[in-house]
């Protein structure tokens, strides 16, 4: 069974005054991870938590941002998770070019943060 193993590197919490929600920026590395059939069966026996996920994704091309909206069903209760992901190759490109074109990197990061702020604002209005 092929999957990924997500290793969190760091988190930054951005407090949003006058809002119901804050932003958490997380940096993670996703590495390929494979289980053979026997290891997978042993893993299934040890896991008692079951989460069903229904996910839709959208990519906003002009800001290199992927949005994942996931409905998670756990213990007969549902909740929603929203994840934004900045295109890694584009971010690395911006970092490489920072000495030649510092605005490219800062505009990329600013657009990403602005997307998050807009979503937080809209969720606060409609919640």
> What digits encode the pLDDT tens for the residues 82-97?
999 999 999 999 999 9
Q: Hey, is 45 helix, strand or coil?
A: helix
Give the Cα separation of 78 and 70 in Å (integer).
10
The answer to whether residues 19 and 120 touch, using CB atoms and an 8 Å cutoff, is yes
CATH architecture of 2-126: Alpha-Beta Barrel (3.20)
The answer to whether residues 51 and 74 touch, using CB atoms and an 8 Å cutoff, is yes
In this structure, what token pair is assigned to residue 19? 């809002």
Give the Cα separation of 122 and 67 in Å (integer).
15
Give the Cα separation of 22 and 2 in Å (integer).
34
The mean per-residue pLDDT over the stretch 10-27 comes to 88
pLDDT tens digits, 33-54: 777 777 777 777 777 667 889 9
pTM: 0.76
In this structure, what token pair is assigned to residue 75? 């213990």
Position 70 scores a pLDDT of 94
Question: Would you list the domain boundaries of the chain?
Answer: 2-126
| Structure-model confidence comparison of residues 2 and 22, the more confident one | 22
């Amino acid at each position: 069974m092929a999957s990924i193993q997500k290793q969190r590197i760091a988190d930054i919490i951005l407090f949003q005054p006058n809002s119901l929600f804050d932003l958490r920026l997380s940096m993670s590395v996703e590495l390929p991870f494979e289980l053979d059939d026997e290891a997978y069966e042993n893993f299934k026996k040890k896991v008692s938590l079951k989460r069903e996920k229904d996910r839709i994704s959208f990519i906003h091309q002009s800001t290199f941002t992927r949005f994942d909206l996931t409905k998670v069903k756990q213990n007969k209760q549902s909740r929603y998770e929203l994840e934004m992901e900045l295109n890694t190759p584009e971010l690395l490109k911006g970092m490489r070019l920072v000495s030649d074109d510092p605005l490219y990197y800062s505009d990329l990061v600013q657009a990403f943060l602005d997307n998050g702020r807009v979503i937080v604002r809209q969720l606060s209005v409609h919640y």
